[in-house]
Amino acid sequence: MIRALLAALALLLAPVSATAQAVSDQPHTRVELLAASRTPAAGQMLDVGIELTPRAGWHTYWKNPGDAGAPTRVAWTLPGTTPAPADLNYPVPGTLVVSGLMNHVYEKANVLTTRIAVPAGLAAGTAFPVQVQVDWLVCSHEQCVPESATLSLPLVIGDGAADAAMGPRLVAAAAALPKPLAAAATWAKQGNRFVLAVPLAGLNKVKSAWFFPEGDLVITHVTPQKVTIAGDALRIETDAATPGPEGDVAGVLRVDMAGEAPIGFAITAKPGTVPAAGTPLGSGGDDAGAGGGGGEPGLALVLLGAVLGGLILNVMPCVFPILSLKALALARGNVDAAKARGEALAYTAGVVLVVTALGGVVLALRAAGSQVGWAFQLQDPRVIAFLLLLVTGIALNLAGLFEITLSTGNLGQDKAREGGLSGSFFTGALAAFVATPCTGPFMAGALGAALVLPTVQALSVFAGLGFGLALPFLLIGFVPALRKRLPKPGAWMVRLRAILSVPMFLTALALAWVLGQQVGVNGMAIGLAGTLGFGLFLWWLGARQHGGKSLAIPGVLSLATLVAAVLLVPTTAPAGASSSTTAASELNAVKFTPAALAELRSQGKPVFLFMTADWCLTCKVNEKGAMAQPQVAEAFKAKGITVMEGDWTRSDPAISAWLAEHKRAGVPVYVYYDAQGGETELPQILTADMLTSLKA
């Protein structure tokens, strides 16, 4: 509708030129008629072109202008029986998003070309004037103006010699046209997604690509296009239009290659089979691990990042107490070397199994069409409620309120201090599960890469994360010198247990706050009531333990209490509920939407975008620390930097799609878009100096 109105406006309001000449300077565009020869030969083809040069800040349109705009229209006036030339050939366009609408545009000089068939039999010296009426739409970010000009060239039939001035310009214009692609491209519609597969040489050099369909109702133009390398083909996936294409799909594929100018390919794709999503651009495909080209790290570096990220998770407040108690259990029991190694391997197996299983669930859900990422389960309030009860139970156990044995049949946290392979395996699984709210340094790139790698390689990355998480205890189990350096058992261990309960209580408090952010005050009250009831039950359980009474029935009741408390928690937020970080308030952050971000960038405004979630510990540290510093707010205000917040506490398809596009598995993610169009991703641990030094 927008395009139709603009096209009609261009035709109705275009001014009529009073005189015809080869060049016309309009208010917002310079237009010129070009011919390869001023003395075209009779019976030969004559290359002609129309060069449109928009003024700075303005643009003209491709043949399919996108969501808005209008193509250039021409009407030729030629001598005698000269047939009208074919449709105009357009050079490869660019993309421009304005007010949430995708436009296919030219922001610099562009030449639209065609060929005129000069009739045979014309005598040399015969006048052969070429005239054309050109109507086009030229737009800025704020307004669109229809413009028109009548252009004429006084040619004379002759020997067809190339014109020294215009000939080279038309040769360059021909070089800028999309190149025909001999290979057979295919397309398919998968659900509401359009997938295009284009066989292409030199895939390891491709940095980016974009598909421009010639027809309407093929794709939704503004939706990001996910580009991967699948075998010998470039695979482009985006949202299909409604009802979607039928038959052959023609268009232009623009490809940016490392060390080369952008190139366009004219393709006609037939309905057929398309491959599954492959490796991300720049990963080097199968050669990545061997140093094959590209800007993405190979699998070896991705695995290293996953291991380092898992290692850092051990210092998180919800993991460190569990690791500490398990390590001290070896010191208390004066365990022999074989048993220590066995427990270390069992602990590692529990960690790796849980982390890999969670990663497998993420991959399966994404393959089914869901845009989920690492720690996706924390977007469900019932999972938060379960973690709240679990962490509270662990904290009360560490504080000495009750003890847990296999006969208890409930939490099993005492297994962290109990020897045996089953206890070590359970402790590892527990540590892995409670570590999922955390995303630390090195993890973002590794897990982001895992989401686009083949399944086996992706699962190996998640296993690497688990291995890193288990590595400290694995070293303690296999290196006797480290075990010897552990403190000797004594009464101090009871005090240490009580001290270690403090970070677990703080973790429970943070989970209660997250629950309130997700489902409101009433939902948080239900969660706290369930936690209180569970705590009272554990107190009663401890009293029975101290009295030497049976714990079999209480064990079943504890499990029932846990399940009932979780099921009572609401799963949706109350109407009007919203959350905003302290940093977001102090920095006057606006809510992230793809259209809002595109609009700010199209206006040349610098933007600091941060993706966050209330359950993300690293996010909260940055937002309460570096981002909340007064000098940061002052610097952003002075430089005109707009702060944009994407809150992923609850599932948000737009944020999930953005994370997928940027090859990130979860939050936090910090990206700075400068006024010149540059894009820089900041580290996951921010400092005030880092933020204040951003260039506008």
What are the pLDDT digits (tens) for 458-474?
788 889 888 988 898 88
What does the pLDDT look like over 640-693, one tens digit per residue? 999 999 988 877 778 877 887 676 777 888 999 888 777 888 888 888 999 999
> Is 80 exceeded by the pLDDT of residue 630?
yes
Average confidence (pLDDT) over 286-312: 61
Using DSSP bridges, classify how beta strands 669-673 and 642-647 pair: parallel, antiparallel or unpaired.
unpaired
- Tell me the two tokens of residue 359: 């990663």
pLDDT at 278: 81
Lowest mean pLDDT of 273-277, 340-344, 660-664, 675-679, name the range.
660-664
CB 352 within 8 A of CB 331: no
Confidence grade of residue 476 (pLDDT, cut at 50, 70, 90): confident
Q: In 503-618, which ranges are E strands?
A: 590-591, 607-612
413-435 b/e (C-beta count within 10 Å ≥ 16 → b)? bbbbbbbeeebbbbbbbbbbbbb
Confidence grade of residue 120 (pLDDT, cut at 50, 70, 90): very high
pLDDT at 334: 61
CB 107 within 8 A of CB 96: yes
Using DSSP bridges, classify how beta strands 263-271 and 186-190 pair: parallel, antiparallel or unpaired.
parallel
**DSSP secondary structure code for residue 37 in this structure:** -
> Is 80 exceeded by the pLDDT of residue 182?
no
Give the closest residue to 437 by CA, choosing from 525, 348, 515. Answer: 515
pLDDT at 113: 97
**% of the chain beyond a pLDDT of 90:** 33
Angle, helix 492-546 to helix 381-398, in steps of 10 degrees: 100
- Tell me the two tokens of residue 552: 């079999």
What does the pLDDT look like over 75-97, one tens digit per residue? 999 999 999 999 999 999 999 98
> Is 80 exceeded by the pLDDT of residue 16?
no
Across 417-426, 603-612, 619-628, the highest mean pLDDT is recorded for 603-612
pLDDT at 331: 59
CB 554 within 8 A of CB 544: yes
pLDDT at 621: 80
For the sheet with 60-66, list strands across it: 60-66, 101-106, 94-98
> Is 80 exceeded by the pLDDT of residue 135?
yes
> Is 60 exceeded by the pLDDT of residue 341?
yes
pLDDT at 15: 45
> Is 80 exceeded by the pLDDT of residue 298?
no
**Which domains does the chain possess?**
2-176 (2.60.40.1250), 186-290 (2.60.40), 299-567 (no CATH), 582-692 (3.40.30.10)
Going by C-beta distance under 8 Å and a sequence separation of 6 or more, which residues neighbour residue 397? 403, 404, 411, 413, 414, 538
Give the closest residue to 650 by CA, choosing from 588, 566, 571. Answer: 571
> Is 50 exceeded by the pLDDT of residue 262?
yes
Average confidence (pLDDT) over 622-636: 89
pLDDT at 618: 77
pLDDT at 568: 62
Average confidence (pLDDT) over 498-516: 85
443 vs 550: which has the higher pLDDT: 443
- Distances from the Cα of 54 to the Cα of 35, 137, 289, 334, 342, angstroms: 21, 10, 46, 81, 73
Confidence grade of residue 451 (pLDDT, cut at 50, 70, 90): low
> Is 70 exceeded by the pLDDT of residue 106?
yes
Handedness of CA 320, 664, 658, 95 (dihedral sign): positive
Lowest mean pLDDT of 251-255, 374-378, 522-526, name the range.
374-378
> Is 50 exceeded by the pLDDT of residue 397?
yes
CB 145 within 8 A of CB 97: no
What does the pLDDT look like over 427-441, one tens digit per residue? 888 778 777 655 555
What average pLDDT does the structure give for the chain? 81
Cα–Cα dist 345/338, whole Å: 11
CB 415 within 8 A of CB 427: yes
**DSSP secondary structure code for residue 337 in this structure:** H
Task: Give the distance, in angstroms, between the CA of residue 308 and the centroid of all CA atoms in the same chain.
Answer: 23
What are the contacts of 141-147 at 24+ separation with CB within 8 A?
141/57, 141/98, 141/602, 141/603, 144/6, 144/9, 144/69, 145/27, 145/28, 146/9, 146/10, 146/11, 146/12, 146/13, 146/14, 147/14, 147/15, 147/26, 147/27, 147/28, 147/29, 147/31
Average confidence (pLDDT) over 178-193: 89
611 vs 313: which has the higher pLDDT: 611
> Is 70 exceeded by the pLDDT of residue 419?
no
Helices and strands in the chain, H and E counts: 18, 24
- Distances from the Cα of 578 to the Cα of 2, 519, 575, 611, 647, angstroms: 34, 10, 9, 15, 10
- Tell me the two tokens of residue 656: 């999930």
Average confidence (pLDDT) over 287-307: 57
Average confidence (pLDDT) over 197-215: 90
Task: Give the distance, in angstroms, between the CA of residue 617 and the centroid of all CA atoms in the same chain.
Answer: 21
225 vs 365: which has the higher pLDDT: 225
3-state secondary structure of 353: helix
Average confidence (pLDDT) over 154-163: 94
For residue 525, the tally of other CB atoms under 10 A from its CB is: 14
